[in-house]
Homo-oligomer: A and B are copies of this chain.
Amino acid sequence: MTVEERRQQLIGVALELFARRSPDEVSIDEIASAAGISRPLVYHYFPGKLSLYEAALKRAAEDLADRFREPHEGPLGARLLRVMRRYFDFVDDHGPGFSALMRGGPAVGSSTTNALVDSVRQAAYVQILSHLRIEEPPARLELVVRSWISLAESTALLWLDGRRVPREELEVQLVQDFAALVAVGAAHDGPTAALLKPLLKDEPGDGPFADLVTRLVSLAA
């Protein structure tokens, strides 16, 4: 294996271990053993525990950011729902690694981790604006979109703690949360309302946005 191939292998092994236990609890010895190489050889490819962990979290952050990419085709609600499915696939697959990425922690250099988390949030924000076909959002809309991204993160972190709500329901719920928060924002801000109204006219009667309206009407009855 080339140096780069070996580095990528070790990152992959580390991420597999981080999917079951928090990075804090995974030692270099375990990573070496799982990769079938000696501990000193691991240090040949990564100068210290922190550099391997940061490389692993960086790959995970890039993987997560990639999942926000979605073709600009079809109704918006269905697009966002597909993104939410891929998001929960990632969360489901990476459990403790996802928590460590999002929460930081003793084994993780916090400024590096914070920068990675910010890059994931920014990727999500840029993708959402591109689907809304908005280049320079009003301050209120920016705030609503960014705070929804943080809502999606905390929902995923809370879900991981016991998985007491079916993830498929949370995927739909988060899409509908987005619609609800945008509606509240639009209800307070003319520019936001004006930008979003034309986007909603293509939403189909069987999509997640219409489903929310149906559910709320039935709840109110």
The chain A residues found within 8 Å of chain B, CB to CB, are 103-106, 110-111, 114, 139-140, 142-143, 146-148, 150-151, 153-155, 158-159, 162, 164-165, 169-170, 172-173, 176-177, 180-181, 183-188, 193, 212, 215-216, 219
Q: Are B114 and A143 in contact (CB under 8 A)?
A: no
Helix, strand, loop or mixed for chain A's interface? helix
A22 to chain B, nearest CB (A): 13
Q: Are B139 and A164 in contact (CB under 8 A)?
A: yes
Q: Are A173 and B150 in contact (CB under 8 A)?
A: no
Q: Are B183 and A219 in contact (CB under 8 A)?
A: yes
Q: Which residues of B contact A181 (CB under 8 A)?
A: 151, 177, 180-181
Among residues of B, the one whose C-beta sits closest to the C-beta of A179 is B184
Q: Which residues of B contact A140 (CB under 8 A)?
A: 165
- Which of B104, B105, B147, B162 touches A155 (beta carbons < 8 Å)? B147
Q: Are A173 and B188 in contact (CB under 8 A)?
A: yes
Q: Which residues of B contact A169 (CB under 8 A)?
A: 188
Q: Are B147 and A158 in contact (CB under 8 A)?
A: yes
